[in-house]
Structure 1
Amino acid sequence: MNILITGGAGFIGSNLSLRLLEKGYQVTVLDNLLPQVHGENPEEESPLFQNILGKVNFIKGDVTKKSDWLKAIKQQDSIIHLAALTGTGQSMYQIDKYTDVNVSGTAKMLDVLVNENHQIKKVILASSRAVYGEGKYFHKDLGIVYPKSRNLENMEKGEFEIKNESGKTLKPLPTDESSLLQPISVYGITKQIQEQLVMSVCSSVNIDAIALRFQNVYGAGQSLQNPYTGILSIFSSQILNDENLNIFEDGEESRDFIYIDDAVEAIILSLENTDVKNKVFNIGTGVSTTVLELAKTLKKYYNKDIEINISGQFRIGDIRHNFADISLAQEKLSFFPKVSFEEGIRKFTTWVLKQNMGKIKYNQSLHEMIEKGLLK
């Protein structure tokens, strides 16, 4: 089978490409080698790109250009659409750019699928937990609650937990696929629109579609220079350069961290499953880990005597908690993540210590958010 992977030179895409090649698939990659991910001289210096160079049919192109879609889609059987801009904070001030790549790029793919000759039978979309916004919560007096964005005044006073309008603190629950969709970042909005476009159009032209709402994917091989995504890369750069860590909010905000191998396996299960059609699945571990716990674990494995400072700063567009209910993916896809958080961090840090870890341009990204009034 011939598989087209957009964004296939990226972190998830390059790992997926290699795994599919091992399984005997023919892989074509469409990627623009974005400098923010791959560096200023990506074709010669990007480790992610070098991993697939000469192994896949590589097309340097852009998902926002119909001509590149027409070139890439020839003789393909399935599309795994990973190409997207992914920084939540950055999306709040690069609105046109995020919308162009994520929404218009997806629209161009679908326009080609509807109006041009091809043999595509399945589309798999990489979506995000960002579509849920603040997610699903519970209160003994209120039952299930889907809160909107946190109150800015409360956050400025250092009150970061989710509360309802009456001031009652709510308990986070794992988010299932039937939860209310109310993204609070531009990035999250673009992912929701991507889902709606793909599900609607593909079903109308008899193409199977699956959307995977990924939690925070990390692991060996991820970009160590992109300051807009990847909290593990940012923290690792600071720790290994003997810089103290600056933790936003109170450090108790939490995420669901899924190791790259498990994320890739979820995509392959979706690709090879012939019974599941037009479905959306959460892909995570179902385990909630605080940012403070992450920082302490990285510090332990790097064996560095740095300080972890709780700053109380916060970003507009950040959520408080989110972790996945993966029971549907377990039932329909037989998806069972194998790598625990502790094992995954050990693998990640072992790999990082073998890399040439320079300083990440993190302060630049903070200054940009401060200038736009998005970092408080």
Structure 2
Amino acid sequence: MASTILITGGMGFIGSHLIRTLNEKGYGDIVVLDNLTEQIHGKNPEQTEAFKTTAAKVRFIKGCVTDRELLLQALQGVDTVVHLAAETGTGQSMYEIKRYADVNIGGTALLLDLLANEKGLKVKKVVVASSRSIYGEGRYQVPATGAYVYPAHRQDAEMRAGNFEVTYPGVEEPLRLVPTDEQSQIHPSSVYGITKQNQEQMVMTVCPAIGIAPVAFRYQNVYGPGQSLSNPYTGILSIFSTLIRNGKGINIFEDGLESRDFVYVQDVVDATIAGIEQEAANGQVFNVGSGVGTTVMQVAQTLKKAYGIDVPLTISGNYRIGDIRHNIADLGKIGKMLAFQPKVSFEQGIAHFCTWVMQQDVEKNNLYDQSINEMKEKGLLK
């Protein structure tokens, strides 16, 4: 068992659940470095009950992973680092490029620089949160031949014409979506995906060279209680929930049939702890998901039913540059090597999530509308 764990970004959604479970398992010495950014945590994060409850279980340092002195302070006496800190949001990353690069790439580079050069540090393992976004459009199969192919990013002209499914040069028949495994081609379609690829590759390259065990988890779309309901740039479950509870209609992008692999936060925590505890994880990269695809239209209809609020769903044909069409995780490797299997179905997880949402005060603001307008102004939402 690791004696002292540093969780960067530990006051966030995944981090707070991870802290609770680690405490339950007897891990008592946890350090958290988090800057409590307003976009994720709201205007007064330190006054919330959620923060106070979590902060009471850890040694909390307020600051950013790009701050050398604070990060060095946080690393003192630590033997395991769980690196969750990152700017998140596919769409926003396409125009706030420097901020995403500074935090995601720069923060990871600084962490590794300190581990490589500072004397007296005791870190033996680094677990990094990677992302399904690094796969871009993921893996498909040509039905006639059985060959696996990796389609390039969808073109603006095709989507403008309402052709949203992926295609592959020389293949006229529709491609068959198959789960994406860890050996699949890496070709992210957004700046966010590029930064996550960079984070993962730096950790997996530098750590072994300096005697530290690296582990990378490519998380799919994580959801559950505690998710930010105020961040308009990421998480359609939260975005749709806020719109529904405010009685606003939902604009369904593309044709509503685009899908994601939604994985419940406790399953993600269980996988992450397996990475912390099991030596079999050392030096490995793993997908973490449910292995099941759910369409955006299914999500919207499920949430409407759960909240008992009927709002209009409009399939607009709008689309965002940088979005992928589908992605489903192949969980064969993590199942075999770490004995991990997701325990919570989408139906069960949504029930837990919606029960929690109904207990929250949902802000009435125009943040989502503002985010949509920003993307339109940048030419990234069509």
- TM-score bracket, shorter-length normalisation: over 0.9
- The answer for the alignment partner of 1:77 in structure 2 is 79
Tell me if the contact between 1:223 and 1:233 (Cα under 8 Å) persists in the aligned partners: yes
SS in 1 for 2:180: coil
**Corresponding position of 1:123:** 126
Letter in 1 for 2:135: Y
| Secondary structure of the structure 1 residue equivalent to 2:281 | coil
The answer to whether the Cα contact below 8 Å between 1:89 and 1:228 also exists between their aligned partners in 2 is: yes
1:147 aligns with 2:151: yes
Flag as ranges the 4+ runs of structure 1 deviating above 6 A: none
Work out which of the residue numbers 268, 276, 292 in structure 2 matches 1:271. Answer: 276
Residue matched to 1:363: 369
> 1:33 pairs with 33, 36, 52, which one?
36
Distance 1:6 1:66 in 2: 13
Select 2:135's aligned residue among 132, 137, 153.
Answer: 132
| SS in structure 2 at match of 1:180 | coil
Is 2:61 the counterpart of 1:59?
A: yes
Q: CA deviation at 1:141?
A: 3.5
Q: CA deviation at 1:50?
A: 2.8
In structure 2, what is the equivalent of residue 182 of structure 1? 187
Percent identity between the two aligned chains: 55
Which SS does the other structure have where 2:247 is aligned?
A: coil
Letter in 1 for 2:305: K
Supply the distance in 2 between the matched residues of 1:127 and 1:178 (Cα, whole angstroms): 15
Tell me what 1:246 maps to.
251
Give the Cα separation in 2 of the matches to 1:238 and 1:202.
Answer: 43
Deviation, 1:48, is 4.2
Q: Quick one: distance in 2 between partners of 1:359 and 1:187? A: 28
> 1:48-95: per-residue Cα shift (whole Å, max 9, x none)?
423312221000011011111110000011000000001000000010
Q: CA offset at residue 43 of structure 1?
A: 1.5
- Report the residue type matching 1:227 in the other structure: P
Give the residue type in structure 1 aligned to 2:80.
S
- Report the counterpart of residue 304 of structure 1 in structure 2: 309
Instruction: Report the secondary structure of 1:234's partner residue.
Output: helix
Aligned counterpart in structure 2 of residue 213 of structure 1, from 215, 218, 235: 218
Q: 302-311 or 123-132: which moved more?
A: 302-311
C-alpha contact (below 8 Å) 1:254/1:320 kept by paired residues: yes
Given the alignment, which residue of 221, 224, 236 partners 1:231?
236
Q: Which runs of 5+ in 2 are unaligned?
A: none
Q: Give the C-alpha shift of residue 185 in structure 1.
A: 0.2
Q: Give the Å deviation of 1:189.
A: 0.4
| 1:314-329 to 2 correspondences below 5 Å | 314-329=319-334
- CA distance in 2 between counterparts of 1:164 and 1:302 reads 40
Query: Within 1, Cα distance between the matches of 2:164 and 2:198?
Result: 28
Counterpart contact for 1:77–1:119, Cα < 8 Å: yes
Residues 251, 292 of structure 1: 8 Å contact kept? yes
Supply the AA of the counterpart residue of 1:257: F
> How much does 1:22 deviate?
1.6
Compute the displacement of 1:153 (Å). 1.1
Q: What displacement does 1:24 show?
A: 1.5
Task: State the alpha-carbon separation in 1 of the partners of residues 53 and 91 from structure 2.
Answer: 29
Secondary structure in structure 1 of the residue aligned to 2:370: helix
What letter corresponds to residue 343 of structure 1 in structure 2?
Answer: Q
Query: Structure 2 matches for 1:317-356, cutoff 5 A?
Result: 317-356=322-361
Tell me the secondary structure at the aligned position of residue 256 of structure 2: coil
SS in 2 for 1:256: strand
Q: Deviations over 1:219-263 (max 9, x none)?
A: 011111000111111100111111111100000000000011111
- 1:164-192 CA distance string (max 9 Å, x none): 23454222110000000000100000011
SS in 2 for 1:182: coil
- Change in Cα spacing, 1:48 to 1:132, as seen in structure 2 (3 Å) is farther
CA contact (8 A) 1:10 1:49 kept: no
- Kept in 1, the 8 Å contact 2:131–2:193? The answer is yes
The aligned amino acid for 1:165 is P
2:379 matched to 1:373? yes
Indicate the SS of the match to 1:258.
strand
Superposed CA deviations along residues 102-144 of structure 1, whole A, max 9, x for unmatched, are: 0010000000001012111100000000000000011124521
2-side partners of 1:61 and 1:179: how far apart?
36
1:296 offset after TM fit, Å? 0.7
Secondary structure in structure 2 of the residue aligned to 1:59: strand
Cα contact 2:280–2:338 (8 A) shared by 1: no
Q: TM-score normalised to the size of structure 2? A: 0.96
The alpha-carbon deviation at position 19 of structure 1 amounts to 1.1
CA distance in 2, matches of 1:85, 1:171: 32
Please report how far the alpha carbon of residue 348 of structure 1 lies from its aligned counterpart in structure 2 after TM superposition.
Answer: 0.5
The alignment's C-alpha RMSD in Å is 1.1
After superposition, the C-alpha distances for 1:293-335 in whole angstroms (9 at most, x for unaligned) are 1111111111112111101000000000001001101111111
Amino acid at match of 1:85: E
3-state SS in 1 of match to 2:211 = coil
Q: Residues 48 and 103 from structure 1, CA distance in 2 versus in 1: closer, same or farther, beyond 3 angstroms?
A: farther
> What SS does structure 1 have at the residue aligned with 2:193?
helix
The corresponding residue for 1:14 is 16
